[in-house]
Amino acid sequence: MINKRNKLIKIAIDSPAAAGAGTLAKAISKHYNLFYLDTGKIYRFIAYLKLRFPKKWNLNFLNKKIKSLKIKDLENKELVSDKVGTEASIISKDIKIRKLVHSFQINFAYNPPKRFDGSCLDGRDITYNIVPDAEFKFFITANIKTRALRRFKELKNLNNEISFAEVLKSIKKRDKSDYNRKVSPLKKTKDSVLINTTNLSKRACFLKIKKIIDRKLNI
> For binding to ligand C5P (CB under 6 A), which residues are involved?
17, 39-40, 43-44, 85, 88-89, 92, 123-126, 174, 178
DSSP for 3-42? ---SS-EEEEEE--TTSSHHHHHHHHHHHTTEEEEETHHH
Q: Which is nearer to ligand C5P, 103 or 215 (CB)?
A: 103
Distance in Å, CB of 16 to ligand C5P, minimum: 8
Q: Which is nearer to ligand C5P, 121 or 209 (CB)?
A: 121
CA distance 11 to 50: 31
Distance in Å, CB of 26 to ligand C5P, minimum: 13
Distance in Å, CB of 176 to ligand C5P, minimum: 10
φ/ψ bin of 18: left (φ > 0), alpha (ψ from -120 to 50), beta (otherwise)? left
Q: Which is nearer to ligand C5P, 8 or 12 (CB)?
A: 12
Closest Cα to residue 3, out of 114, 123, 136?
114
Q: What is the DSSP letter of 182?
A: S
Distance in Å, CB of 215 to ligand C5P, minimum: 27
Q: Which is nearer to ligand C5P, 124 or 209 (CB)?
A: 124
Q: Which is nearer to ligand C5P, 156 or 216 (CB)?
A: 156
Is the Cβ–Cβ distance between 45 and 81 less than 8 Å?
A: no
Element (H, E) at 118: strand 118-123
Distance in Å, CB of 109 to ligand C5P, minimum: 12
In sequence order, the 6+-apart residues with CB closer than 8 A to the CB of 140 are 13, 14, 15, 19, 20, 21, 24, 122, 195, 197, 205
